[in-house]
Amino acid sequence: MGNCLKINNSDDISLLQGGEISNTQDFAPDQNDPAPIYSELLQPIFFPSPSVRRPVSHLTEEEQVKIAKRIGLIQHLPIGTYDGSKKSRECVICMIDFCVDEAVRYLPCMHIYHVHCIDDWLMRSLTCPSCMEPVDAALLTSYETT
């Protein structure tokens, strides 16, 4: 009991852009004793599992492999342009309507999302946010059948 709400506490600060922030090299108050808080804030942040966030230097080797594989998988998911189809009018992540010719990513279940919206989500969890279908399992079977 009581273990339920703790995991969210670390997500208070905005880390969405974490992966894109480049390290600010000149912020080093003491070379021999690198302040862990600063380095954590300036490093790219990754999510080995949805509720676990870690700066890149704190990832275990196993987690690094996991994340590298995940990035590889995401890059294999096809990107297309929105054709104005009435079936999916909005990206359910940002809830904004698609524009014709806008870049969208197709998941194996055929749900589509803005590329930046779904990539942010997939870096945390390899499931379709709409139907919960695991993206990696579907991808692996599609590799086998082709």
Judged by the rule CB under 5 A, the positions of this chain that interact with Zn ion are 91, 93-94, 109, 111, 114, 117, 128, 130-131
Of the pair 15, 77, the CB lying nearest another protein is at: 15
Burial class of 75 by CB neighbour count within 10 A (0 to 12, 13 to 18, 19+): exposed
Contact with another protein (CB under 8 A) among 24, 28, 35, 51: 51
Distance CA 22, CA 99 (A): 31
By CB under 8 A, tell whether 4 contacts another protein: yes
Contact with another protein (CB under 8 A) among 21, 68, 79, 94: 94
Sole residue written with tokens 């104005």: 84
Distance CA 72, CA 42 (A): 24
By CB under 8 A, tell whether 124 contacts another protein: yes
Q: What are phi and psi of 55, to 5 degrees?
A: -70, 155
By CB under 8 A, tell whether 50 contacts another protein: yes
Question: Vertex 92, ends 89 and 93: CA angle to 5°?
Answer: 140
Interface residue list for another protein (CB under 8 A): 1-2, 4-5, 7-8, 11-16, 49-51, 92-96, 117, 120-121, 124-125, 127, 129-130, 132
